[in-house]
Amino acid sequence: MRRTAIRMAVLGFFGLAVAGWVGGASPLSCAMKALGGAAVIYVLTTVLMRVMVQMIVDTMMENPGRPHDKGPET
């Protein structure tokens, strides 16, 4: 989970930096805004991934004896 969150944050950092640069902002302003955005993306990605994993685990624990759906039997 951590690796994916870091990857998303790095991609977001560069995306936000390029967007600020294209918009004509100063380099320091681009870097600071991109750094803040990357931090937010990291936190959100981490939280959302934990929620998704918890949902999957909860679903699996509700019906532990249920066999996997193998489609229609012939």
The model's pLDDT over 9-65, given as tens digits with 9 standing for 90+, comes to 999 999 999 999 999 999 999 999 999 999 999 999 999 999 999 998 888 887 766
The predicted structure's pLDDT at residue 23: 92
Which residues in 45-73 are b (16+ Cβ under 10 Å) and which e? Answer: bbeeeeeeeeeeeeeeeeeeeeeeeeeee
- The H-assigned helical ranges of the chain are 2-22, 27-62
Length of the chain in residues, anyone? Answer: 74
* Closest to 7 measured CA to CA, from 59, 15, 71: 15
d(CA 17, CA 30): 5
